[in-house]
Chains A and B, each alone.
Chain A
Amino acid sequence: MKILVCISNVPDTTTKITFTDNNTQFNTNGVQFIINPYDEIALARAIELTDGGNGTVTVLNVGEASTEATIRKALAIGATDALRINAKPHDAWFVANQIAHYVRSNPFDLILTGRESIDYNGSKVAAMVGELLDLPSVSIIKKLSIDGETVTVEREIEGGIEMLSIPLPIVAGTAEGVAEPKIPNMRGIMSARTKPLTVIEPVEVSTLSDITGYETPAPRGQVKLVPSDDVANLVELLHTEARVI
């Protein structure tokens, strides 16, 4: 079994998000970058599925050279080899086309991504890759298992779950529940240095969108504290002032 795990390089979850250049650029100054947490779940599941020599796990990142620390971390966690497509990930359409182009000449049995990246939250790459390769895609999965040529997934739907059975290959976006993230051990960290990390150049893709600016949520006013022995007052405020109940 050959599994491709597409990973994003994103700011650590504790990052305070700020912007520069008149709010047009994300301020990366002092920001620690990590593997997108949902992609880490995908990677963990891929490693479980290929455990005991039952296949290979390739990690793919569309990014500039600065993402290599994150890619090495994925190798330390247990990926077999890695590929970096040397380009700034302009938007999901650009990234999906790079992945699809590579997979057309290097087929995989299963292509995994996280359900979304925690920076732009698009949830777009998995479904776009699916469309570009004319493969089934499932966007938010909570469980994934493989039996021969068939993959069974549990997909999150509003207020429930849906169980799907699909012939391989497919593209799937993983969420919590699919696997527990793995922490690299010393052997993994040592071997990551010598595992193959191939760099290839991107294909040309037309641009469909640009981010032109950012803003942070408007600050809320001072909290109105209600004494704990006057809870009825809170209900009154929620009804008459906030008008939410």
Chain B
Amino acid sequence: MPVLVYTENVEGKFKKSTYEIVSYARAIADQNNTSLTAIAIGDTGAEELNSLGKYGTEKVLHVSAENLKTFINQAYASIVAEAAKKTGADIVVLSNSFSGRGLAPRVAAKLEAGLADGAVALPDQSNGKFSVKKTAFSGKAFATVELTSATKIISLTPNSYKLAESNVTAAIENFEVAVKASDFAAVIKDIVRSTDKVSLPDADIVVSGGRGLKGPENWGMIEELADLLGAALACSKPVSDAGWRPHSEHVGQTGIAVSPNLYIAIGISGAIQHLAGISSSKVIVVINKDAEAPFFKVADYGIVGDAFEVVPKLIAAIKEYKASA
């Protein structure tokens, strides 16, 4: 039975995290010597759909309808569950993105399937079991979840699986599903995207500021550094609580958990709640004037110094590096 992967798009385009989960689902299909089918919903062109083959999708079920152009979790869940039934998939993979969190549990409930949310590694299928490692305690630990149901669903944490190309040709098939009217009870009134900014949960690099920056008026250099690196902006809880930065930038145990390749913390002491949200970062750089700041204990690289002196120097050094590269 094939593995089914739900391929999320934004305004018709697949994101890097979508190709990550396709690569991940391909690896699971290989574990089970089976094929990989993708379900794509919305206004996605042939070129985009074909691109799923690059990461190992053999078949794409495409659902396109006027009322399905934008994501409505209730309606999309009905379609993904139908696709799982039609293909006989016993493993369904989705992203643990903001939308994925509204979708995967509904699909799981429809299929009475165990759901391993926030997976960070491939399932372990040894000894006839199906166990998945996931983040727990907001990044302070990992838990291994054994799925005991017939159908198994995994939602993958963004940035936790590397892209892997397998270059197969994807056969694209139109997939028709009758979705009941009540699945469209939620009506989207508006979508506001800050297109000039990198989205925090997807970002490869995150530049984060704390109380050490003394006030919102000092964020100019943080924004400049982030722009230079193509990074997303983040902040600590006291900063968003004080209203210096929006809540959507708050990283930590009660904010967003991130797992970028590079996390640069500036003027953040490293409270346990903040460290929880960033512990999956691959490389951590800390800039803080207090050499005793707990953040240095979990950092890979550190500079002990005043942010107002170090950050402009760092901006200059990166500009120089970029000019020479």
A pairs with B: yes
Beta-carbon contacts under 8 Å, A187-245 to B: 206-217, 220-221, 223-228, 231-232, 234-239, 242, 244-245
Residues of B104-124 contacting chain A, CB below 8 A: 104-106, 108-110, 112-118
Name the A residues within 8 Å of B185 (CB-CB). Answer: 136, 166-167
Q: How far is the CB of A200 from chain B (nearest CB, A)?
A: 22
B86 at the interface (CB under 8 A from A): no
Given contact pairs A121-B138, A123-B105, A212-B146, A231 touches B272 in the complex (Cβ within 8 A)? no
Within 8 A of A (CB), among B245-295: 247-248, 250, 253-255, 257, 261-262, 272-273, 279-280, 282-286
- Residue of B114, B138, B201, B273 near A93 (CB, 8 A) is B114
Q: Which of A152, A209, A238 contacts B148 (CB 8 A)?
A: A209
Residues of B contacting A235 in the complex (Cβ-Cβ under 8 angstroms): 314, 317-318, 320-321
A217-B279, A225-B303 known; A127+B114 contact, CB < 8 A: no
Interface flag for A68 (CB, 8 Å): no
**In whole angstroms, how far apart are the Cα atoms of A165 and B254 in the complex?**
26
Closest Cβ–Cβ distance, residue A141 to chain B (whole Å): 10
A118-B138, A124-B105, A212-B144 known; A245 and B192 CB under 8 Å?
no
Tell me whether B141 and A215 are in contact (CB under 8 A): yes
A16 at the interface (CB under 8 A from B): yes
| Pairwise interchain contact B109-A128, C-beta atoms closer than 8 A | yes
Q: Which chain B residue shows the least CB distance to A158?
A: B199
Render B12-25 as a binary contact track against A, CB cut-off 8 A, 1 for contact.
Answer: 00010000000000
> Do A127 and B101 touch (CB < 8 A)?
yes
Which of the four size classes fits the interface of chain B?
35 or more
Which residues on A sit within 8 Å (CB–CB) of B118? 121-122
Asked whether B310 is an interface residue with its Cβ less than 8 Å from the other chain, the reply is yes
Contact of A139 among B98, B197, B303 (CB under 8 A): B98
Q: Do the beta carbons of A127 and B191 come within 8 Å of each other?
A: no
Residues of B within 8 A of A126 (CB): 105
Q: How far is the CA of A214 from the CA of B135 in the complex (A)?
A: 10
Which residues of A sit under 8 angstroms from B115, Cβ to Cβ? 92-93, 122, 124, 208-209
A17 and B141 contact, CB distance less than 8 A: yes
B141 touches A210 (CB 8 A): no
B305 contacts A by Cβ under 8 Å: yes
Q: Answer whether A231 and B144 are a contact pair too, CB < 8 Å, given A131-B77, A162-B191, A163-B189.
A: no
CB–CB A223/B286 < 8 A:
yes
* CB <8 Å contact, B106 and A130: yes
> What are the residues of chain B within 8 A of A158 when measuring CB–CB?
10, 15, 97-99, 199-202
CA distance A155 to B272 in the complex (A): 28
Query: In the bound complex, do residue A96 and residue B137 qualify as a contact, i.e. CB atoms below 8 Å apart?
Result: no
Chain A CB within 10 Å — which of B187, B250, B309 has the most? B187
Q: When chains A and B are docked, how far (Å) is the Cα of A130 from the Cα of B299?
A: 41
Question: Which of B73, B305, B316 gathers most chain A CB within 10 Å?
Answer: B73
Does B195 touch A at the CB level, under 8 Å? Answer: yes
A180 to chain B: closest CB distance in Å?
Answer: 9
State the Cβ distance, A193 to closest chain B Cβ, in Å: 29
Supply 11 further A-B pairs (C-beta < 8 A) apart from A155-B98, A213-B144.
Answer: A92-B105, A139-B73, A156-B98, A159-B194, A210-B145, A217-B141, A220-B284, A224-B302, A228-B310, A231-B313, A231-B316
Nearest 8 pairs of A and B residues by beta carbon:
A228-B305, A159-B199, A208-B114, A127-B105, A139-B102, A160-B193, A131-B109, A209-B114
* Residues of A that sit less than 8 Å from B by CB: 11, 13-14, 16-17, 19, 37-38, 91-93, 96, 115-116, 118-128, 130-132, 134, 136-140, 142, 152, 155-167, 170, 175-177, 206-217, 220-221, 223-228, 231-232, 234-239, 242, 244-245
